[in-house]
Structure 1
Amino acid sequence: MGDRADVELLIGRCRGFEREQLGLAERIRGAFAAADPRPDRDRPAILVATQTIEVGADLDVDALVTEAAPLDVLLQRLGRLNRLGLRERAEAVCVFAPGVHEDDAVYGDRIARTWRWMRQRVDTEPVALDPRRPSAEGAPFLEVGLGALRTLIGPADLEECAAERVDVPILVAPYLDAWARTSPAPDPDQPVGPFLHGLDRGAPEVSICWRAALPSAAAWESELEALPIRDEERVDVPLWTARRFLRGIGPGPLADLEAVAEPGEGEPEGPHLAAFVQHVDGSVERLADPAAVRPGDTLIVDPGAGGHDAWGWTGGPGEVPDVADLVPRSRSAMRLRPALLAWASGEDASVFRSRLADRDAPLRELAQDLLTQAIAMARAREDTGPILGRWIEHAERISQDLAEGRVRITAPGGSDARPDPDLGLLLEVRGRAIGDQAGDEGEATTSTAPVAVALSRHSEDVARRAREVAEALALPPDLVRAIELAGFLHDVGKAERRFQLMLHRGDPDRFDASGVVLAKSGMDAADRRAFRRARELAGLPSGWRHEAVSSAVAAHALRGRSDVDALLVQHLVAAHHGCARPLLPPVDGLARVQLAPLAEVSVGPLEPLAGVEELEVDHVDWSGPRRFTTLCRRYGWWGLALLEAIVRLADIAVSEEYR
């Protein structure tokens, strides 16, 4: 099939690294996203999916083959067929297996009820499929278009054939208030799961994570403190599935849903995979018996234990790459451990172990030599895959940081600052690595473009694009005006003098001679060294957000105005990179800032900004929570998020056009 069509597999139980970082989700969206016009393709695309496709997937397919399912579930799946109505006719084939679906492990008898319901509404009997040449030719046809559904399905049909309802807690406003606070998220954070899946989730679950082996619980606690396990490197499975996996038994009737009960045959005694377990309280211990695993635990197993492949959980044999160094983190890190260097280089681990046993080599020199050697060997390999390619890129960035003296080197489990040859070295980049700030959230990405862009031009461009989007959405004139003003003011905080010095490469003479207040520096965002040096020369504190100054300027500019919702404009300005919902991160407390001449900065219909050459700016802005709550009440949780998205996406779109 692969030589005639592009085939993808989508299941729910998949590590985030494979799904997002390696492009699986992007490939699926590219081939099947609900879009008009449809993207041109050289050959057909086929998506094989589990129940994960039923909810929250904005996908559009031309034809569908599906297992029989309860009526409401079947309708959800049919919602992916001809989703935009671009084709006059689209067909689905529904397959029923009597021995499986009469009493299904997930849905009980609701599948059989739905099958009987469909048979009662057609004139002929279903066709029996020949497994050697399966074909739906001659099968009865049931019209389920939107027009037909109005008369085809009634409340009594759903009561009889829909999946059994589960008890869910009552959703009250305080929960939504808490979920709306995304930056920073509240602690503790109310789990969403019970509201989506019910209070009775069926089999309890545990997480499984793959990392190169360590000899003791103490070594694991040290590593997990420096490199906590992220969602991208683990997968959740039912507790009984994890126990079977540890004992080397097949996965059993596992589904993407939580309600799959444990098989009745029980668990045999005997040897099991070596593993450590991290409990919910953070403590780590060696696993003595799979029966001791408890709900919420995280199992840490060796990559050679298998259980996962490029598409998700398998429960079977294989090699699962350790990706702990490669998942997104606020602080870049890398472990120089013999087993990991051997995986990357293709060389035997003893080569690196003997080098780490050299007690005379300075740690920094030793780390640089190990990195250089492993990178060269990895690049020379003929079997370089996407994960190894990511490792090489990451190792080269760490090597550059190491050469610049920005890396903290520790020797886990060693003595007298010397490494244990089996545990190697841990490298941690001091401060936030600019290159690791994805999307529109980091100053390196929000303030760079191939060419320098004046703040006045950028403000006008964003204001115009935001207004166009708001008008296209038919928003009321007062909201269109608020969104446009937020576009004009969103980056005015970049006029802060130190920020301008940074955008002018840290050179005061260059800034003074240019006479231009910039929004985009013209520096290469990938050149972290140049950007970091410019920030240091400018004296701008690490972590400083220009939105804090923009918000303060907006509040000053809009004082006393009754023709626009000033609170809304200030919030849209503060939140245009996803922060300030409801607080910005703390940086240096209260600070007096100097702004470049704002006469050169376009603020559209606002009066020329005056009196803001100096401002006291509380970077956190403790008035933010009250403002955020007020606006959520005024516009609704989703309504406010929509208004934020218009300004944020206008900024992203305009900035992309400069590239």
Structure 2
Amino acid sequence: MTTPLPTFPEFYRAVNDRDPFPWQDRLARDVAANESWPDEIGVPTGMGKTACLEIAIWWLASQADRTPEERTAPTRIWWVVNRRLLVDSTAEQAERLAKKLDAFRNSSSSEGNKTPDSDALAMVAERLCSLSAGRGEPPLKVISLRGGIASRTPTDPSCPTVILCTLPMYGSRLLFRGYGSSLRAVDAAMAGTDSLVLLDEAHLAPHLRSLTGALGECMPGVQPLLNSQRSTATVVTLTATGDPASKSRFDLDDDDQRHGVIRQRLDATKRLDLEVKESGDIARHLVDGTIRLMDEASRPASFLVFANTPKTARQVFNRLEKQAKTRKSKKTSIPMDPPQLLTGLTREQEAECIRKHIVDPDHGMAATRSATTPRERHLVVVATQTLEVGADLDAEYLITEACGVRALTQRLGRLNRLGNYADARALYIHLPPGKRRGGKEKTETVWPVYGEEPAGVLQRLKQCPATPDGMINLSPRRVADVLGPPGDAPGRAPEVLPGILWEWVKTTTPPEGEAPVEPYFSGIASPQYTVSVIWRVHVPEPGRRLWPRAKDREAVDIAINELKAVLNDDEIIHRLGSDSVTMEPLIGKAELRPGDRIVLPTDRGLLDNFGWDADATGPVVDVSLAGQGLPLDEKAIKRLCDIDLTSEIKKVLGTEDDEIDEMDESEKHQAIIDILKAIRAVETPQGWDPVEWSDFTNSLKPEIMESRREVARLKVGRPQPEGETPIGDFDENSLVASLHHPDPTLATLDGHGQAVGDQSRMVAEQVGLPAGLCEVVRFAACLHDIGKADRRFQLWLDPEDTNGVAMAKSDTPRHRWEAMRIRSGWPRGGRHEDLSARLVLAWLQQQPDWGTPIERDLLVHLVISHHGKGRPIVPPAADGTGERVRGVVAGVAVEASADLARIDWDQPARFRRLNDYFGPWGLALLEAIVIRSDHAVSGSMNGRRGSWK
């Protein structure tokens, strides 16, 4: 590597068009010099903690000239928060950085067009690109995991990646139970190895940091694959309120205190008015306080209202909505925009609308908005804790109900964040907990979310000397002294025992009654048991596929108890399987499990423009349809358009008892035209934007797409890509869009194996595996598909034997795939990797001197697990054939039984030995290299970016 490295200030300036703060530059230099991060970054809120992303990326680039074995900077950077954020400046910042780096990689600008900034970006981009095995990869990938459905995951363990997600999304992946994950071992490897975990506001997730240490104690004697810094995940907490248990803490120093901008923010006016209420409705108190501040304001201003629960926030929002209409009719009052609601229980489509409103450069509340820009109306945003972290907002007025020290510190961080509003003011409303009935009426002593801590906060606020106007000065410089140390108790988390971890590692056949993972990263007192909910006009029956495939953008994570509370006792629930595509048998609400993916019909309601609402009864927009097509199902069209097209659909598709005669093609075509006319004549359905509805209906074509196990649908002109192809029981990864590739040998069994072997070796070397393991990984990758040589599988791929050689891929249309399987005789659910492993075992029997015992085990396991099975067994299929499968391994002819009903009962012991030797995450990393290399090579044939373009 000869590309020079810019200094961190040069890189930061190129990205952000301003110089870093002193603490940011100092932290970058400390991390590079010490080759490690402090346990805790303790700078106050509003001081630019998201720069830790730039520091981590710059540090990674700084080590690009080292050998992979010598690198200490992790390849993946996880930004983990406790809640899903609607306004996430961190995600936006990461995506902006990735786009800038991609724009400047391999920059060939002439000397006259070059600038110091472009040079700095080009140098970092080139260095990052050199780390990836895939030469077509961008310098930096950015992935946001939203909701419990993950449609995107890191595709290459060697590729520099930023992953932004919630605590449950990271914690469940770390413990081999990834929400929305179809390849749990791969996601566990991405979370548990070669990763820097930046835990934003650690007080919201106190158990995760201790969990990572406890997991190491469950693996005595494990042989680390990488060096000590990268074999595991490094957790760094970012917090404005501090953790006394931290071994090392990074804070502001004298240089920061003298910096003009930091000094202005530390001394920003934050005058707090304390109101103590003895009784009443907290929602009403918050609304009254907001109205009073609006009336006292001399000009239109921004108001941020914090509630402790989504229920309270919704009540405040509903009342302020009415207030907005009332003020509009009054001539004496400053009008207000319709209020905005942020609870974290919102789909991405609605979130984008809310985000657009509150970050509007003229009327919004973004910190980047000029304080001198006048407003025409008041802006009011009602929020829960979702805005305590990750939201770069700057309000002029703050209204909040009683909360804990950490929460109040964070909420104040959104008031006069940059110190530009001299009259900024906060209203803190303390209301004792209400009454409840538990046999007899009694007074509660704890608050929702914050326990008993608000009582202590009240006493500290009362003891604080007030300013002449009766306010309390809570500027960032004084807030810690006034409020004192946090009084929240993190509670306990269960102890991780080796036996429990071993049960989680069994991802192919999870044991019944296994320990749930949530308490281990969320604590026993308040584990985050959630389910993901999506809304569709077409809800398939069990065994059929959901179309289009579920995406995280349409999911909302709901507390499992809250969902159960609104469902009827006899209500039938549709649940997605682990592949995020196939519907499972119907269940009742008592059978709901944490991490489930639930599909609700759009006419069930429970969602409005501001997210989850248990009282909402109106239809929900199916956000999956745009750019995909229209399901030809009478119930679906009735839900969407409120029209009955049953007879027309029957003319097009026929019925189970009546097949359409070829002579009726003209009638069939006319029925399709009639359906299109009827759909286009419908007025814009509730919730749809008129322009979007018009674009959607006009995009529909009079062409039918039919696929086995999926709903028939009308095509659209240019369908949007649905994302990664799921890897299911029918081995659909063997399908490619076209076999017309510049290198046609990639579709053959030998060519595909060689390509995946070469890719795997490059990834393994770039990651930094020992040379011996790199060779085992390469060899396993070369052999991973040799079981496809089975006569039946070859008939499935190529019934006419048009190529004359054994194939690994087929370009057969997906809707014909199942029918071809049946004709070929390949059993439903049969796993070709099981046959591949049998051929490898047959070869090993003839090669008693090849490799060490652990290398022999690893070779077999990497072959048998390359579709996520074999952990610890491969499920059998109904077969019973007496045929043999034959192949060639390293020039030696081998054969084995082709009966897929047989189970390799040696695999569980083999799997256990490998886990004991490499550790669960080390073995998962080895699997991930083979699996993701297979995906990269297969993806290149489908036109996706990859190493083999």
State TM-score, norm by structure 1.
Answer: 0.57
Structure 2 counterpart of 1:320, from 617, 620, 628: 620
Matched, 1:555 2:555: no
CA contact (8 A) 1:210 1:321 kept: yes
Mark the CA change 1:276 to 1:130 in structure 2 (over 3 Å): closer, same or farther.
farther
Name the structure 2 match of 1:169: 494
Matched, 1:439 2:439: no
Name the structure 1 match of 2:792: 498
Once residues 179 and 201 of structure 1 are traced to their aligned partners in structure 2, the CA distance between those partners, rounded to angstroms, is: 21
CA contact (8 A) 1:68 1:115 kept: no
Matched, 1:632 2:876: no
1:579 match: secondary structure: coil
CA contact (8 A) 2:83 2:167 kept: no
Once residues 234 and 492 of structure 1 are traced to their aligned partners in structure 2, the CA distance between those partners, rounded to angstroms, is: 39
Gaps of 5+ in 2: 1-80, 105-141, 148-163, 171-189, 192-199, 208-235, 241-258, 275-285, 287-304, 310-384, 386-401, 426-473, 576-584, 661-667, 685-689, 713-721, 944-949
Once residues 534 and 412 of structure 2 are traced to their aligned partners in structure 1, the CA distance between those partners, rounded to angstroms, is: 44
**Aligned-residue offset at 1:164:** 3.0
Matched, 1:528 2:824: no
Matched, 1:32 2:326: no
Name the structure 2 match of 1:188: 513
**Aligned-residue offset at 1:168:** 1.0
Matched, 1:507 2:800: yes
1:519 match: secondary structure: coil
Structure 2 counterpart of 1:457, from 740, 751, 755: 751
**Aligned-residue offset at 1:644:** 0.2
Task: Choose 532-541 or 183-192, whichever is displaced more.
Answer: 532-541
Once residues 387 and 627 of structure 1 are traced to their aligned partners in structure 2, the CA distance between those partners, rounded to angstroms, is: 58
Name the structure 2 match of 1:468: 762
Once residues 598 and 749 of structure 2 are traced to their aligned partners in structure 1, the CA distance between those partners, rounded to angstroms, is: 51
CA contact (8 A) 2:543 2:709 kept: no
Mark the CA change 1:376 to 1:538 in structure 2 (over 3 Å): closer, same or farther.
farther
- What letter is aligned with 2:919? G
**Aligned-residue offset at 1:458:** 1.8
Aligned pairs for 1:353-502 (under 5 A) are 363-364=657-658, 374=675, 377-378=678-679, 400-401=706-707, 438-441=725-728, 442-448=730-736, 449-451=738-740, 452=744, 453=746, 454-502=748-796
Once residues 405 and 634 of structure 2 are traced to their aligned partners in structure 1, the CA distance between those partners, rounded to angstroms, is: 53
Name the structure 1 match of 2:875: 585
Structure 2 counterpart of 1:576, from 863, 866, 887: 866
2:494 match: secondary structure: coil
Name the structure 2 match of 1:150: none
CA contact (8 A) 1:554 1:570 kept: yes
1:610 match: secondary structure: strand
Name the structure 2 match of 1:518: 807
CA contact (8 A) 2:637 2:644 kept: no
CA contact (8 A) 2:633 2:649 kept: no
Gaps of 5+ in 1: 1-9, 60-65, 79-88, 119-123, 132-138, 143-152, 214-219, 247-272, 286-291, 327-332, 410-424, 426-434
Structure with greater contact order relative to length (CA < 8 Å, sep ≥ 6): 2
Once residues 528 and 939 of structure 2 are traced to their aligned partners in structure 1, the CA distance between those partners, rounded to angstroms, is: 46
Name the structure 1 match of 2:177: none
CA contact (8 A) 2:843 2:894 kept: no
Once residues 584 and 387 of structure 1 are traced to their aligned partners in structure 2, the CA distance between those partners, rounded to angstroms, is: 49
User: RMSD of aligned C-alpha atoms?
Assistant: 6.4
Name the structure 2 match of 1:216: none
- What letter is aligned with 1:517? A
CA contact (8 A) 1:103 1:109 kept: no
Name the structure 1 match of 2:60: none
Matched, 1:642 2:937: no
Name the structure 1 match of 2:607: 308
Q: Deviations over 1:571-598 (max 9, x none)?
A: 1011112222222232134544444663
State TM-score, norm by structure 2.
Answer: 0.42
Mark the CA change 1:597 to 1:301 in structure 2 (over 3 Å): closer, same or farther.
closer
Once residues 701 and 507 of structure 2 are traced to their aligned partners in structure 1, the CA distance between those partners, rounded to angstroms, is: 29
Once residues 103 and 376 of structure 1 are traced to their aligned partners in structure 2, the CA distance between those partners, rounded to angstroms, is: 48
Name the structure 1 match of 2:155: none
Structure 1 counterpart of 2:485, from 152, 160, 182: 160
- What letter is aligned with 1:438? T
Aligned residues: 503
Task: Choose 485-494 or 297-306, whichever is displaced more.
Answer: 297-306
Structure 2 counterpart of 1:341, from 632, 637, 644: 637
Once residues 638 and 141 of structure 1 are traced to their aligned partners in structure 2, the CA distance between those partners, rounded to angstroms, is: 41
CA contact (8 A) 1:341 1:374 kept: no
**Aligned-residue offset at 1:459:** 1.7
Once residues 610 and 376 of structure 1 are traced to their aligned partners in structure 2, the CA distance between those partners, rounded to angstroms, is: 62
Structure 1 counterpart of 2:503, from 178, 201, 213: 178
Once residues 768 and 201 of structure 2 are traced to their aligned partners in structure 1, the CA distance between those partners, rounded to angstroms, is: 42
**Aligned-residue offset at 1:470:** 1.2
Once residues 893 and 519 of structure 2 are traced to their aligned partners in structure 1, the CA distance between those partners, rounded to angstroms, is: 52
CA contact (8 A) 1:113 1:161 kept: no
2:808 match: secondary structure: strand
Q: Deviations over 1:62-117 (max 9, x none)?
A: xxxx9998798995479xxxxxxxxxx99997997956999967794322785799
Mark the CA change 1:164 to 1:558 in structure 2 (over 3 Å): closer, same or farther.
same
1:612 match: secondary structure: strand
Once residues 694 and 723 of structure 2 are traced to their aligned partners in structure 1, the CA distance between those partners, rounded to angstroms, is: 17
Once residues 320 and 235 of structure 1 are traced to their aligned partners in structure 2, the CA distance between those partners, rounded to angstroms, is: 13
Structure 1 counterpart of 2:937, from 649, 654, 657: 654
- What letter is aligned with 1:543? G
- What letter is aligned with 1:652? H
**Aligned-residue offset at 1:440:** 4.2
Once residues 498 and 202 of structure 2 are traced to their aligned partners in structure 1, the CA distance between those partners, rounded to angstroms, is: 38
